Each structure stands twice: as structure tokens, then as C-alpha cells.
Chains A and B, each alone.
Chain A
Amino acid sequence: MRMHAFARRRRKHTKRTDPAVPPVVRLISISKSFGAVKANQDISLDIRPGRIKALLGENGAGKSTLMSMLSGRFPPDSGTIEIDGAPARFRSPADGIAAGIGMVYQHFMLVERMTVAQNVLLGQTGSFWLSPRAMRATVGALAEEYGLAIDPGARVDSLSMGQRQLVEILKLLYRQSRVLIFDEPTAVLTPAETGNLFQALWNMSEQGKAIVFISHKLPEVIAVADEIAILRQGRIVDEFLEHEVPSEHALANRMVGREVILEVDAQPVPLGAEVLRLEGLSGNGLEDVSLSLRQGEILALAGVAGNGQKPLVETVAGLRSPQRGAVTILGSDWKAFYGAPQKESWRGGLAYIPEDRQGLATCPDLDMVDNFLLTTRHGFSRQGFLERNRAEEQTARLVEEHDVRPPVPATLARQLSGGNLQKLVIAREFYRHPRIIVAEQPTQGLDVSATEEVWRRLLQARAHAGVLLVTGDLNEALQLADRIAVMYRGRIMDVIGRNEPDAVGRIGLLMAGLRKGKREDGTAGEGARARQGEDGQGAESAPGGAAR
């Protein structure tokens, strides 16, 4: 579905097919090790102006390491980086910037308390004195030139993730970077924002910028890239140039080295008792939200980010109290449920798998055992003392069972890659035998095989739990959920069964706040779709059965 939308706009993008364009950057047999881990081995890569080069690979395949070396964050152990045919040696990111190489990091490098303009011009202004007005004007003009909608005077902490990414892009554009590296740029974006980003990428590549797009999302890579290099375990295992790009299926194969089918067989299981009930929940940005979740089903909460999913999840998870309306969890009122002593309720209660894995789900500087104990400690307490030995055994067992790598319980959380950290969180939460699971963007930033694993576990969990799945990935909702509730501006627009006719189209309309699509099939719905298609925003959500 996504592919369909991207591909259609792709055709407008005129390609230059001159093969003789000399590469602006040439990596020649680059190797890098961290301790015993060989992150990159003998990698050679050409990056040409006007092309979008995708670097495809699973979590931990060495993509980010490679690009960190290119941007000057750390030097390679061996090998050469050539810029315009001359070998370059970067000692710091400043050297990389000076050579025209700019990087948009996965975790944005923005000073949140400063404005957009200050962030863009940080370290860039030649003059000692600054004029805030002139800074805003400069950045505003630059944003306009590339068609990026952003207020240069806004403080970064008031911006959405998509807008923050625009700030990062503006930084590179201002520095006139010739090579722009994007590390998992769509991980934090809504589908509409992803579409905007791709348009920006095409605009920039048409203006002669060389773009490196690091991702493990196959449909996006196929849609956006001119050339694809596949990284596996620190080596380039395949490279496809223009017009050679194979099918998604074949790419997935090459990437993980085995068959992966990103479709799961979600057979319904018999429904049990109601585990969660929201009645007329309002306030905190929510408006009259009513929902019911039963054991044995997955209820997906779909919608563009920022339409009330966050307050809803935080209320259910006990992070903020409901203002108006009733929340009933496992038969108890919200206050009674969260007021009960955790000594008993840690098990068989509610498990929360937050979106923010490094901040909310884990403590980065604690090891796996301590992180495991964060929510399960009441199960390891004997007369007020913690049974750490038993916790260590259990952690070791779970780490093994969930294939967390490295399988060393003494590893600190921040040393784990995103996918492995998520495996640890899921292992921990499932250890509690929850009867309700609130999973928030559980596969965001995960590679294909890790995603598949998370999906499988969520489906299995239906045997003992009801799952509330908050996702920005419509495909995920459609694959897993029995019912999909669409949120828009704090309201539940509608709840749609997965197998209802034209579910995709209706969800798309509901996400955009168009309720009419529900009953008035025909004129109103079609009109709305056509309108959306034109501005390019709705193309994401428009019916596109051809995608899969």
C-alpha cells in the first residue's frame, strides 16, 4: 500500500542515467572493530551525486557504524575514504562537515531549548554577533527554497518528530552538504510525513545531492532508492544498481540470508472475559473515548501520531490519572487497580511495552538483570530481600529463550541495539503473565526478523491476554488486529473489523478525520479520496490493494 503511493509519485521523478558520473565519495575496503566485534569488514562503496543510495540491513549489520566513519565520528581501522578522488582523513565530525558530508542521526542532534533557526545556524555563522531576526529570515528562506514547512522561530521542543527531522535536513542544506546521510529516517515518522520526506529526498537528489538512505524497511527502500547495497554481518553481500532492483521478497531474502515473509497467519482465538473498558474518557486531549477489550483479541489503535494515542495509553498504563469518565481494568476501577499493592498485582495484571525503550522501558546504565527486575522485582522478594541470584538465572534463561544478543545478562541496556532491547522488554513483560498488554509501536525501528518475532509473540499472548496495540504502521494493524480503532483529534472515529470490506480505504479516510466514508459509499467518499490524492497526503491512506 505504501509502495503503491510512493511508486506513483516516483514516476514523475526524471532520472539521469549517465553512468559516468564520478562518485563524490568512495569507500575503499573499510574495516572497523569494536573489541572483538567486527562491525565492518572490507566494505567498498561508491556514492554518486544525484542518486539515492540505500543501505539495507538488519539491526546490528553495521550500517550506522559505516556511516559514522564517513561522517567523521570515528576513524576506520583500515581502508580509505576518498572524496572527489582524493583520500580524506576525518578526525572529527567538523572535518566531515567541511568535506560536505552531513548526517541526520537516528536520534536527532538538536538542542531542544533552542529555536529552529538557532539549531540550524549553530556553529555555522561566521560573524560574532547574531541577530535573531536575520537568523529567522535566513532559515525561513532556506526552508522555502526546498519547500519545507517549518516556523524558524519555533522552539524545537514544541515540534513533532517529523518537523524535527526537517530541522536536521535544514542544517545539512544550510551547510551545502553534498552528501546527505539519513539513518533510519522514517522510524519516527507518520506515513504522511514519510511521504513528505521522500518528496524532499527526491527534490534534493534532483538538485545534485548524493543521498544515502539507511533503512531496513524494504518497501521504502524499493520506493525511494536508485541503488541498493545490502549489508549483512558487517559485509556488503549484494549491490544493485539502477534498474536492477529486485522484488521485495528477494531483497528480504538477501538481507537476512533466509526466507522471511512479513505476513503472519492471525487465526482468531476464542474470546474470553472483558479485561479493559473505557467509558466516556475525556480530558488530557481525549474526547469521549469508549472502548472495550477482551481476552483473546488484539485491538489496534491506529491514527496519525499525536491524535490522542499517547494520553490514552498513558491513562491505561497508569502514568496519568483519568480526568473524566471511567477506566475499568480487569474488573477494578482505575484508582483501585493502580492503588492496589504491587506485591500481588505485578503478576497477571497489565503489562506496558512503551514506545520509548531507552527512557521509559529501561534504565540505560543498568544491566539486563536490573532492567528485568524493574517490573518483576516483587516476584523476587523474600522477606524484603531481593533474590538476585534467582533473578540472574531467570534473566539468563529469558535472554536465551528470546534470543537477545549478546546473551550476557551483565550487558548494560544502552549497549544493546534497538531490536535486542525490545526483545528484553518483551521478555520481561511476558514473564509477568499479563492479562492485558499495552504495546506501543512495538516494532518501530526493528528489522524484519525481529518484527516477525514480536508479531508472533503478540499473537501468542492472546491465549491469556487482551492486547491493545498502538501502531502507526497500518500494515501492522491489519496483520495483527481483530479490530482497528481509528483515532482522530482525541476521538475514536470508528472501530473497524479487519475483515470488513474496504477496511483499508475506510481507515485511511477516518485517519484523515473523514467520517462520511463509512456509510455514504459512492459520491462523498470518492470525492474525498480524489481530493486527498491530489495533495499527495492522502495517497498514503487511499485504497491501494495493489501494494501487496
Chain B
Amino acid sequence: MLELALPILAATVQSGTPILYATLGEMLTERSGVLNLGVEGMMIIGALAAFVVTGATGSPWLGFLAAGAAGALLGALHALACLVFQGNQVVSGLALTIFGVGLADFLGTPFIGTTVPGFDKLSVPLLSALPVFGDIFFRQDALVYVSYVMPLVFWLTMRRTSLGLAVDAAGEHPAAASAAGLDPVALRWFGVVGGGFLVGLGGAYLSLAYTHLWTSGMTAGRGWIAVALVIFAFWRPGRAVFGAYLFGGIMAFQLRLQAMGADLPSSLLLMLPYGLTVFVLAASSARGGGVGAPRGLGVNIEPQE
């Protein structure tokens, strides 16, 4: 039984990791008060940037950072539309997704079928020797280990630093932040661009660690799952970890079922994570009634005069 469960659980962590990065990124953006539905587009551009830069330089870490930069760049586009030109956040975000997916498809065509070095499994000394735990959590690649620290850093930043407090204020009540002498527009820039960086990192995981390949449409809706998970997590990083691994688990499980040749149509199994997304959203909004959404989420800051 354990032999059967362990690989699935290890795969759970692997498939949960890109979602975790993206969820934390979108969470940061939303806590600053901006809704960004462009996660899917930012993620896939991140994946492509990581792949191309790694291929060109041979350094997966440079590729990883390039993915973040690409995500941040798209985030800046969204910020420009919403924070400078007062555009509708929903429309701008959707446009960003369509743009990002299309652009990645176009630019990525020559790379289809090629591979890059990327991140390989890297056992942590001592910890990987732990029974069960070691197998699940500490025989993974470097990006997974980075993702363990991320929620903690996120939480510390939001709860224990003046920057986090200020970002939350910009998301909850920008006028109050402004009256306190803060610049809510600048804080939202930080939220959107910083969030875009994290989302881009999530994309990098797909092309550098999860696979070492480029295929078009490789995010396969993970960006949308991240958007849903932010709501599921009530905008709290701890719950985001739980949510990301829950979805990762479903993905790993259905892959394993397919591999075992279960007598079910594969398209039905592929549908599982997305079906769960709908279910989770319905359940969490029935339970929480939208509890936890920053009060200023999705509302632009109107310039004075």
C-alpha cells in the first residue's frame, strides 16, 4: 500500500508546486487590491522565458529568474492598464491571459520538441532519510525546496513587516492608506509586479522541473486554478499551501490512474482538477460568503482632481 501511495504523494508535491507559486503571486496582487485574471498568461510566458533563457545560457537558475522577470513584466502591463489608465481590472486581466497564451504559442513554436537541462531531483542529506516524510518532501528538486520557504516568507512579510501592513491597507482601504501618508498606487504597483514575478516562477517550474520540455499550452489551466485557490484560501498563505497540494494530489492521482490503465475515459480523469475547482469555489463561497476578500479588491483608485 505504502509503495503505491508514496510515489503519488511525492508527485502531489511536484504538481502542487507550480500552483503554489502562482497562488501566492495572485494572492499578493489581490491583497494589494488588484484583481489579475492574467495569471494563466503570465504563467505560460514565464514557462517559455525560463525554457529559452536556460537553453541559451545553460543555467536553469538564470532561466528561473527570467521567468519571474517575464511575469513581472506582464504584471506591469496590467498595472499600467489599471493603475495608470484606470482600466477595468477584469477586462485587462482576461486580455493578459489571451495575449500571454497566444504570444507563448507563437514564440515557442521553434522550441517544441527540444529539451533543456533544468532542475533535477536533489535529495536533502539527513532529511531525505526520514521514513515516509523524506520520500515525499525531501527527494525533490531545488525549486520545490524554495517553494517550502515561500509561504513562510509571504506570511512574515504580510504580518510582521511595515511593507506587508501597507500592502494590506492599500487593498482594504486605499483612502485610509493615503491619509496615513502612504502611496496606495505605488503599493499596488508592488503587489501587481511582485505578484507577477511569483506567478512567472510558477511557470518556470513547469518547463524546467516538472518537465524539461516546451509544449504549447503547457500550463493547462493551472493559472485559473490559482485564481480560484486564492479565494479558497481566503487570501491566507497557510491555506494556499493546503489548497495547492490538494489540487496537486488530484492531478497526480488522475495521472497515476491513467497510467494504471483504469477503465475510465482519460478525458474524464483529466477533468477532475477543474471539476474540483468549481466544487471548491462553490463550497467555499457558500461557507464563507466571500469572507476575507480585501474590501478594495477590484476597485480602482481614482486620481484626485
Contact = CB atoms under 8 A, between A and B. Distances in A.
Nearest to A34: B305
Interface string B189-202: 00000000000000
A94 B181 contact: yes
A24 interface: no
Contacts of A171: 180
B77 interface: no
Given A93-B179, A109-B179, A114-B168, A127 B173 contact: no
A112 B176 CA distance: 10
A434 B163 CA distance: 53
B165 A130 contact: yes
Interface string B204-242: 000000000000000000000000000000000000000
A113 B166 contact: no
Contacts of A98: 181
Given A122-B182, A128-B161, A129-B160, A114 B172 contact: yes
A93 B178 contact: yes
Given A118-B165, A122-B165, A130-B165, A112 B295 contact: yes
Nearest to B304: A74
A97 B173 contact: no
A122 B180 contact: yes
Interface string A238-269: 00000000000000000000000000000000
Interface string A106-137: 00011111100011011111011111100000
Contacts of A121: 165
Contacts of A74: 304-305
Contact of B161 (A92, A122, A130): A130
Given A123-B181, A123-B182, A73 B304 contact: yes
A105 interface: yes
Indicate the member of A98, A113, A121, A125 with the most B CB atoms within 10 Å.
Answer: A113
A270 B178 CA distance: 55
A114 B179 contact: no
Contacts of B179: 93, 103, 105, 109
Contacts of A129: 160-162
Nearest to B162: A125
Interface in A419-444: none
B63 to A, nearest CB: 30
A112 B162 contact: no
Contacts of B168: 111, 113-114
A121 B305 CA distance: 28
B177 interface: yes
Interface in B150-184: 159-163, 165-166, 168-169, 172-173, 175-183
Nearest to A93: B179
Contacts of B163: 128
Interface residues of A, number: 29
B162 A111 contact: no
B110 to A, nearest CB: 45
A92 B160 CA distance: 27
B295 A113 contact: yes
A170 to B, nearest CB: 12
B160 A122 contact: no
A112 B172 contact: yes
A98 B165 CA distance: 20
B180 to A, nearest CB: 4
A73 B180 CA distance: 12
A130 B295 CA distance: 23
A238 B162 CA distance: 46
Contacts of B172: 111-114
A110 B176 contact: yes
Nearest to B170: A111
Contacts of A128: 161-163
A97 B181 contact: yes
Given A118-B165, A130-B162, A131-B160, A109 B305 contact: no
A463 to B, nearest CB: 44
B162 A109 contact: no
Contacts of B169: 111, 114, 122-123
B234 to A, nearest CB: 12
Contacts of B177: 111, 122-123
B180 A123 contact: yes
A128 B162 CA distance: 5
A110 B175 CA distance: 9
A171 B177 CA distance: 12
Indicate the member of A73, A97, A98, A122 with the most B CB atoms within 10 Å.
Answer: A122
Contacts of B295: 112-113
Interface in A60-106: 73-74, 92-94, 97-98, 103, 105
B305 A110 contact: no
B161 A111 contact: no
B267 to A, nearest CB: 43
A111 B181 contact: no
Indicate the member of A111, A127, A128 with the most B CB atoms within 10 Å.
Answer: A111
B304 A109 contact: no
A514 to B, nearest CB: 39
A93 B172 CA distance: 19
A129 B164 CA distance: 10
A124 B181 CA distance: 8
A300 B252 CA distance: 66
A414 to B, nearest CB: 12
Contacts of A118: 165
Contacts of A103: 179
A92 B180 CA distance: 11
A103 B295 CA distance: 23
Contacts of A132: 159-160
Contacts of A73: 304
16 contacts: A92-B183, A93-B179, A110-B176, A111-B176, A111-B177, A112-B173, A114-B168, A114-B169, A122-B169, A123-B162, A123-B166, A124-B180, A124-B181, A128-B161, A128-B163, A129-B161
Interface of A: 73-74, 92-94, 97-98, 103, 105, 109-114, 118-119, 121-125, 127-132, 171
Given A118-B165, A122-B180, 15 more contacts: A73-B304, A92-B183, A93-B181, A94-B183, A109-B173, A109-B180, A111-B172, A111-B173, A121-B165, A123-B162, A123-B182, A129-B161, A130-B161, A130-B165, A171-B180
